[in-house]
Chain A
Amino acid sequence: MAQAINVEDLNIYYSEFLAVENVNVTIQPRSVTALIGPSGCGKSTFLRTLNRMHEVIPGAYATGSVEIEGANIYGSGVDPVNVRRRVGMVFQKPNPFPTMSIRDNVLAGVKLNNQRISRSTADELVESSLRGANLWEEVKDRLDKPGMGLSGGQQQRLCIARAIAVKPEVILMDEPCSALDPISTLAIEDLIHEMKQDFTIVIVTHNMQQASRVSDRTGFFNIAGTGKPGHLIEIDETEKMFTNPENKQTEDYISGRFG
Chain B
Amino acid sequence: MSTSAAATPTPQKQSDPPETKARTAKRPGDLIFSGLSIGSGLLIFLTLLLVAVFLTIRSLPAIQSSREVTGDADAVSLLEYTAPLVFGTVFAAVLALLMAVPVAVGIALFISHFAPRRLATPLGFMIDLLAAVPSVVFGLWGGVWLVPRLEPLYMWLNTYLGWIPLFAGEPSAPMRNLATASVVLAVMILPIITAVSREVFLQTPRLQEEAALALGATRFETIRTVVLPFGRSGVVSASMLGLGRALGETMAVLMVLSPGSSFSLHILEVGRHNSIAANIASQSAEATPDVMARLIFTGLVLFVITFVINAIARAVVARSTQG
A residues contacting B by CB (< 8 A) are 51, 53, 56, 58, 81-82, 84-85, 88-89, 91, 93, 95-99, 108-109, 112-113, 159, 162-163, 166
B165 within 8 A of A: no
B230 within 8 A of A: yes
- State in angstroms the CA–CA spacing of A89 and B212 once bound together: 10
Instruction: Tell me which residues across on chain A come within 8 A of B226, comparing CB atoms.
Output: 97
B71 within 8 A of A: no
Instruction: Tell me which residues across on chain B come within 8 A of A97, comparing CB atoms.
Output: 208, 211-212, 225-226, 229
- Give the residue of B117, B207, B210, B218 whose beta carbon is less than 8 angstroms from that of A56: B210
Nearest first, the 6 closest Cβ-Cβ pairs linking A and B are A85-B216, A109-B215, A89-B214, A99-B229, A84-B216, A95-B211
Contact in complex: A84, B214 (CB < 8 Å): yes
B217 within 8 A of A: yes
Instruction: Tell me which residues across on chain B come within 8 A of A88, comparing CB atoms.
Output: 214-215
Contact in complex: B208, A113 (CB < 8 Å): no
- Give the residue of A82, A84, A98 whose beta carbon is less than 8 angstroms from that of B213: A84
Nearest chain B CB to A138 CB, angstrom units: 21
B residues contacting A by CB (< 8 A) are 117, 205, 207-208, 210-218, 221, 225-226, 229-230
- State in angstroms the CA–CA spacing of A54 and B226 once bound together: 19
Nearest chain A CB to B219 CB, angstrom units: 9
- State in angstroms the CA–CA spacing of A109 and B214 once bound together: 9
- State in angstroms the CA–CA spacing of A51 and B213 once bound together: 10
Contact A163 B215, CB 8 Å, known A91-B207, A95-B210, A113-B221: yes
- Chain B at the A interface: SS class: helix
B213 and chain A: residue at smallest CB distance: A56
Contact in complex: A81, B207 (CB < 8 Å): no
- State in angstroms the CA–CA spacing of A229 and B236 once bound together: 46
A89 and chain B: residue at smallest CB distance: B214
Contact A98 B230, CB 8 Å, known A108-B225, A109-B215: yes
Known pairs A112-B212, A112-B221; list 8 more (Cβ under 8 Å). Answer: A56-B210, A58-B117, A82-B216, A88-B214, A91-B210, A109-B217, A162-B211, A162-B215
A-B contact pairs, 5 of them (CB 8 A): A108-B225, A109-B216, A112-B217, A113-B216, A159-B211
Instruction: Tell me which residues across on chain B come within 8 A of A84, comparing CB atoms.
Output: 213-216
- State in angstroms the CA–CA spacing of A166 and B218 once bound together: 15
Contact in complex: B208, A98 (CB < 8 Å): yes
B221 and chain A: residue at smallest CB distance: A112
- State in angstroms the CA–CA spacing of A84 and B218 once bound together: 10
Instruction: Tell me which residues across on chain A come within 8 A of B217, comparing CB atoms.
Output: 81, 109, 112
A165 and chain B: residue at smallest CB distance: B215
Nearest chain A CB to B120 CB, angstrom units: 11
Listed residue (B214, B221, B225) with the most chain A CB atoms within 10 angstroms of its CB:
B214
Instruction: Tell me which residues across on chain A come within 8 A of B218, comparing CB atoms.
Output: 81, 112-113
Nearest chain A CB to B204 CB, angstrom units: 11
Nearest chain B CB to A231 CB, angstrom units: 26
Instruction: Tell me which residues across on chain B come within 8 A of A51, comparing CB atoms.
Output: 214
- Give the residue of B205, B207, B213, B216 whose beta carbon is less than 8 angstroms from that of A166: B216
Instruction: Tell me which residues across on chain B come within 8 A of A109, comparing CB atoms.
Output: 215-217
Contact in complex: A112, B230 (CB < 8 Å): no
Instruction: Tell me which residues across on chain A come within 8 A of B216, comparing CB atoms.
Output: 81-82, 84-85, 109, 112-113, 166
Nearest chain A CB to B226 CB, angstrom units: 7
